[in-house]
């Protein structure tokens, strides 16, 4: 292969935008890699804002990246209804079922999960082929709401609800429910709807457990403005229509 020795000029699509959309990292991460000299095009260090063009030979840490397949890739978003017992991972060494085997195969790129649900949590999981969209939806600075239906085993009184809405100390810092409302139930089993704006690990469970009650069932029903449709059964998915996709992209300023 003959590599160009001409100075790198602009034209095409910005490198950090394209690689972020491909899910190789967030734009900020890719910009940091560029500043650290980890990206080269045609054997020359890349500058921030460089636009990739047809024929450019891209390497990250010396490894060739076939970036052309990510160019002009239409954004897709799936709303997947994850059941209890599935893992949000590519593969599991112990053989547990994983969500990605339930999704349609992509000819280009890969599916990226927007956040995670632990093995015992079910409900809405957004999945996209646009890495930049996924990063923006998960970034703490955006404080995207996540709403859950949660069944509690134990006594819940007004004082406990007030503490959970005001804030309690967990091992990784203070946390609270942004919204908490009773839904249904009598006796020891009651259903609540709760909303949080952080994606911290097992946050909803840990908040309730800090009050010495048990979460016996946890279902995510909403992520931002995207709601889990009643018609979508477990293991199934729904693909956002163009208008819904446009609204989601605008929500994160894309």
Structure tokens at 43: 């054997």
Q: Which of 56, 72, 92, 118 is catalytic?
A: 118
Rounded-to-integer distance, Cα 118 and Cα 152, Å: 17
Rounded-to-integer distance, Cα 26 and Cα 29, Å: 5
CA–CA distances in Å: residue 192 to residues 16, 152, 172: 42, 8, 24
CA–CA distances in Å: residue 72 to residues 18, 67, 130: 9, 11, 11
Rounded-to-integer distance, Cα 116 and Cα 78, Å: 14
CA–CA distances in Å: residue 254 to residues 8, 21, 118, 130, 165: 27, 11, 29, 11, 32
Nearest in space to 129 (alpha carbons), one of 223, 225, 23: 23
| 3 state SS of 217 | strand
* 56 labelled catalytic: no
Please tell me what DSSP assigns to residue 210: T
Helices (H), 68-186: 131-138, 158-166
Structure tokens at 154: 């134990």
The residues carrying an active-site annotation are: 118
């Amino acid at each position: 292969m003959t590599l160009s020795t001409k100075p790198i000029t602009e034209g095409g699509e910005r490198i950090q935008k394209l690689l972020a959309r491909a899910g190789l990292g967030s734009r900020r991460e890719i910009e940091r890699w560029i500043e650290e000299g980890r990206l080269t095009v045609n054997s020359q260090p890349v500058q921030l804002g460089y636009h990739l063009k047809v024929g450019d030979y891209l390497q990250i840490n010396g490894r060739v990246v076939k970036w052309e397949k990510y160019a002009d890739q239409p954004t897709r978003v799936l709303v997947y209804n994850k059941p209890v017992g599935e893992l949000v991972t590519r593969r599991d060494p112990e053989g547990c079922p994983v969500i990605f085997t339930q999704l349609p195969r992509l000819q280009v790129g890969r599916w990226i999960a927007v956040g995670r649900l632990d093995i015992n949590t079910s409900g809405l999981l957004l999945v996209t082929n646009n890495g930049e969209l996924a990063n923006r939806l998960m970034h703490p600075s955006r404080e995207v709401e996540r709403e859950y239906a949660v069944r509690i085993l134990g006594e819940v009184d007004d004082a406990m609800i007030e503490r959970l809405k005001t804030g309690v100390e967990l091992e990784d810092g203070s946390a609270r429910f942004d919204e908490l409302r009773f839904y249904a139930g009598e006796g020891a089993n009651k259903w609540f709807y709760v909303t949080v704006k952080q994606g911290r690990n097992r946050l909803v469970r840990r908040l309730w457990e800090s009050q010495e009650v048990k979460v016996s069932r946890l279902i995510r029903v909403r992520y931002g403005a995207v709601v889990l449709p009643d018609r979508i059964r477990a293991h199934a998915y729904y693909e956002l229509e163009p208008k819904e996709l446009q609204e989601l992209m605008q929500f994160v300023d894309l």
